Chains A and B, each alone.
Chain A
Amino acid sequence: MDKFLSITVGGFATGAIYAVAASGLVLTYATTGTFNFAHGAIGMVAAFLYWQVHVAWGWSTPVSLVAVLLVAAPLFGVGLERLIMRRLEGTSETTRLVVTISLLLGLLGFSVAMWAPGTNRPMRQFFQGNVLELAGIRIPWHQLVSLAAAAAVAIGLRLLLYGTRRGITMRASVDNRSLVALNGSRPEHSAMVSWALGCSLAALSGILIAPTLTLSAVPLTLLIVNAYGAAIFGRLQSLPLTFVGAMVIGLATSYGIGYLSSLPTDLQPYARGLVDALPAIVLLAVVWLLPASRLAQVTRTREIAAKPSWGGAIALAVASVVGSAMLAPLLTTGELVSIGRLWGIAIVGLSMIPVIGLSGQLSLSQLTFAGFGAVAYAHLGWANPLGLVWAALVAGVVAGLVALPLVRLQGIYVALATAAFTVLCDRWLFPLPEFSIGSRPFQFFPGSLPVVRPHLLGIDLTSPTASFVYASVVFALLALLVVAIRRSAFGARLIAIKEGPAAVATAGISVAAVKVGVFALSGAIAGIGGAILSSSSPATVSQFDLVAGLPILLVMVVGGITSVGAPVFAGVFLGSPLPTKLMSGHFDLGRWQNALIGLVGVSVGRNPNGVSAALNPAGRRVKADLPVAAALIVALGTAWGLRITETISNGPYVALTIAALVGSVWLARRRLPEAISLAELDSVRGVASGATAPMIEPELLGLTVPYTPEAVAALDEALDLASAGRRVEVSSAGG
């Protein structure tokens, strides 16, 4: 009984900390409309900072608290608002989420770089050693402090948001920023206050929760992330419900941890992961029980899903395979092993295009689906392509099942639910010890997965060189598949779902079927990616966890999440040692890699269409200029020839290749008469081939734009009506 009581009190105290964290999250969301994925990471960095000033520098407790909670955290929040969040107006929810995910990754990277992991950094509880004896149970003062902090936050926020003009203005700003200005208030100021407060609350929760575990970046961040379920419980707007949710999660984890040891010893290993994943399970349950979100009306964003041309796609596919075939012989076996993950990562990146890029469903589970693919492939052990099909099938079915309860939801809810699913898998399901299905023993990851090298129609592809090229072929085929999807009627539906779900529903298309379909399809592609990953090196659970998946997403977004070129970029950047090699000796890139990716990711707010969209015109210029294109091919071939004949080494080879690429763009640009702009190039060729194509806004046709047959044809093309044979005939009579 005493045990039960003290566990309950402990649960409430943990819940109180979650409540502080979650209310900060709800505050920023309800007043700015941005869900701050990095909230947990901000709390984590604040805890480290508190350790730095309090423990390392020996500042007194009050001074340290003021420095972190009232100075550093609010300043960070204000900076965040001014430098990043303010620029995100007019971007999609996906972009805004990705920016905060970048921030999370950046802060993780920053803290690892600042406070090297491995050192023991003890954090003392508040009033450590003091205990309140009450009804036979002993309550540490730290728990009382946590409860008091939560109560103060609850009362303070209530007074602020409902009682003061500033607070009401903060709430009003989400509804209508310009109307706030017309009422004589500055919406920017409200947003700044909101971010400052949100960061302070994150910091407070971080400092309160840090003493419960050793100060370590990722676990501490994820611990605060546990509170996100509470925020969802409050539907991201109700603070009282958020507090209830926080208490539920606090109690659940407290009972889970407290009673785990009461389980039979042989069951404990199976349940341990489940206890770790409890908050994720609560989050999943809450998201599943949420009422359907209202379908969004048409949104007009400054983001464009360029329609890729077959020419470009085939060029990319050929370049991938030929490039791999040229590169592979140049590398030693050791180098091939370290570069082996390139195509697997690229395929996982590719799998994000239909689901995230086209349909706007922010799935954070793609790498987990890849994990299922890897497990299926390795356990089946077939070396031929049918093994890949099996991996695709398993991962596709899992992804489809995950999508089923999500079809009613949108935006951040999809992101959070898939994140929770991923956490459930990487903390519980994947690390499960051996169990039996029927009479057959089974274990997802027996340590690491056995490597199954590919084998094709009797041709042995087991050498690292051959399997690298094989992987590039698989990537090339899947890239073509993705382009085909984008160009199909299904692809048009995916984009329609992203841009105007309500309109799609009223047009008689089942939004649910399309969503499940795209999840299953993307999951299947990711599954093949996982299989390819596990065919190059022994795969382990940690390769498929949430934190491993985020950089892929970010590099994809930076590269342009709808472009098939971006996955190559992701593969090279994350699956090969190239970035580290290029910088070796100058800069410890490995240590700063995540911080850098985060920083770059944050910049997508500036150019939400990604690098590919920016590079695309350069590529088109080169292609349009035959002599320059020919010269480029000759230059690339020559450099390779020099390298393969051992005339030059790797360094000069890379330099020559880059010089050839940059030089060709420069030449093409110089040779192009200034008068001819790219738009004209397009109209000369008569294709609406991408981001730079002039867009006709349907509702303006006939009003400000003359109603010509060409315009209607262009619209049909854009809406994919032409293929459906519904082209509208425009009569030229009248006038």
Chain B
Amino acid sequence: MTTLLELRGIRAGYDGLEVLHGIDLVVEAGSVVAVLGPNGAGKTTLLRVVSGELEPSGGDLVVGGRRLNGVPAATLARAGVCTIPEGRGVFPNLTVRENLWMMTHRGVGRSEVEETAFAYFPQLAARTDQVAGTMSGGEQQMLALARAVVTGPALLLLDELSMGLAPLVVQGLFEAVDRLARAGVAIVIVEQFVDAALDLADRAVIISQGRVSSEGAPAQIRDELRAAYFGAA
């Protein structure tokens, strides 16, 4: 296996307040890594570093063997890093179709984008001219996920895809993620639905207070979490 993403001693923060204190993480091409941890641990911050939105204050961000510290998010997106950010990853005032058109970078045409997206998520096909902000949360996340489907990225970053959604809807979304994973997209997944994330993952890390506190196979992490949970009770 080849290494797609490697973080070496990443430090990052906001306004002089350091949030990540040296994170090491390796993501092999085509593998799924679950990143877990309590609220405020720095999971979102970590994904923001990888997507290029936040420049790390220290350490190396290496994608595909090249050190990419400080490369703008737009460039990384064009290079194949697809991010579905925390919250709803759509433009609420654009229609579904216009949202899809925003995904036409990386050399895919408009009709191609629409076809691929609607094949994956048939529910969207009936709503092409609806303003995205008026769709249900689940539909919005489908639309957001469509970006990963149509652009065929090398690396997909998912930040709490399931936030605020009903379990059944989440299940549907996760099936789509699973299909992407099986198609060979490397995925870093941050989730509150720990079990669902661990089911998908090849490997898992736990971050707490800006440091990797535990790392291993999903089963092992599951046991650790359970022990911590019952231990604390």
Contacts and interface: CB of A to CB of B under 8 A. Distances in A.
Interface of A: 162, 165, 168-169, 171-172, 174-176, 178-186, 703-704
A165 B101 contact: yes
A184 B98 contact: no
B40 A178 contact: no
B137 interface: no
Contacts of B122: none
Contact of B93 (A174, A180, A703, A704): A174
B141 interface: no
B95 to A, nearest CB: 10
Nearest to A183: B102
B85 A184 contact: no
Contacts of A171: 91, 93-94, 98
27 contacts: A165-B101, A168-B98, A169-B102, A171-B94, A172-B102, A175-B93, A178-B53, A179-B89, A179-B91, A181-B53, A181-B73, A181-B77, A182-B53, A182-B83, A182-B85, A183-B77, A183-B102, A183-B103, A183-B105, A184-B74, A184-B77, A184-B78, A184-B106, A185-B74, A185-B102, A186-B72, A704-B40
B128 interface: no
A184 B94 CA distance: 17
Interface string B77-108: 11000110100011111100010011111100
B51 interface: yes
Question: DSSP class of A's interface residues: helix, strand, loop or mixed?
Answer: helix
B66 to A, nearest CB: 18
Nearest to B105: A184
A325 to B, nearest CB: 46
Contact of A182 (B40, B77, B94, B104): B77
A179 B85 contact: yes
A178 B94 contact: no
A240 B147 CA distance: 31
Nearest to A182: B83
A37 to B, nearest CB: 24
A29 to B, nearest CB: 13
Contacts of B85: 178-179, 182
Interface string B42-71: 000000000111000000000000000000
A184 B79 CA distance: 9
A185 B106 CA distance: 11
A531 to B, nearest CB: 47
Given A182-B89, A183-B77, 4 more contacts: A168-B101, A168-B102, A182-B51, A182-B77
Contacts of B73: 178, 181-182
B153 to A, nearest CB: 10
B51 to A, nearest CB: 6
Contacts of B101: 165, 168
Contacts of B82: 182
Contacts of B83: 182
A165 B97 CA distance: 12
A414 B90 CA distance: 31
Contact of B91 (A172, A184, A703): A172
A175 B74 contact: no
B74 A165 contact: no
A579 B68 CA distance: 53
A300 to B, nearest CB: 12
B44 to A, nearest CB: 12
B135 to A, nearest CB: 14
Contacts of A168: 94, 98, 101-102
A175 B92 contact: yes
Contacts of B90: 179
A171 B72 CA distance: 21
B15 to A, nearest CB: 10
A463 B91 CA distance: 66
A183 B101 CA distance: 10
Given A174-B93, A184-B77, A703 B40 contact: yes
Nearest to B102: A183
Nearest to B90: A179
A663 B74 CA distance: 51
Contacts of B74: 180-181, 183-186
B85 to A, nearest CB: 7
Nearest to B81: A182
Interface in B128-160: 147
A190 to B, nearest CB: 11
B91 A175 contact: yes
Contacts of B89: 179, 182
Given A165-B101, A183-B103, A184-B105, A176 B91 contact: yes
Closest 9 CB pairs of A and B: A184-B105, A184-B77, A181-B73, A175-B91, A184-B78, A172-B91, A181-B74, A182-B83, A183-B102
A319 to B, nearest CB: 36
A162 B94 CA distance: 10
A183 B82 CA distance: 8
B53 A172 contact: no
Contacts of B98: 162, 168, 171-172
Most buried by B among A165, A179, A180, A186: A179
Contacts of A704: 40
Nearest to A169: B102
Contacts of B77: 181-184
A666 B107 CA distance: 61
Nearest to A704: B40
Nearest to A174: B93
A171 B102 CA distance: 11
A169 to B, nearest CB: 7
B94 to A, nearest CB: 6
Contacts of A185: 74, 102, 105
A182 B73 CA distance: 6
Nearest to A175: B91
A178 B94 CA distance: 16
A69 to B, nearest CB: 29
A162 B90 CA distance: 17
A168 B98 CA distance: 7
A165 B103 CA distance: 10
Most buried by B among A174, A175, A183, A703: A183
A157 to B, nearest CB: 16
Nearest to A164: B101
Nearest to B151: A184
Contacts of B53: 178, 181-182
A178 B73 CA distance: 8
Nearest to A178: B53
A175 B140 CA distance: 15
A178 B147 CA distance: 15
A498 B223 CA distance: 49
Contacts of A182: 51, 53, 73, 77, 82-83, 85, 89
Nearest to A162: B98
B40 A165 contact: no
B45 to A, nearest CB: 14
Interface in B157-186: none
Interface string B105-133: 11000000000000000000000000000
A666 B89 CA distance: 52
A495 B155 CA distance: 45
Contacts of B104: 165
Nearest to B92: A175
Nearest to B75: A184
A174 B103 CA distance: 17
Contacts of B105: 183-185
Contacts of A180: 74, 102
A336 to B, nearest CB: 50
B83 to A, nearest CB: 5
Contacts of B51: 182
Contacts of A175: 91-94
A162 B83 CA distance: 25
B94 A172 contact: yes
A184 B75 CA distance: 6
B102 to A, nearest CB: 5
Contacts of B94: 168, 171-172, 175
A703 B38 CA distance: 12
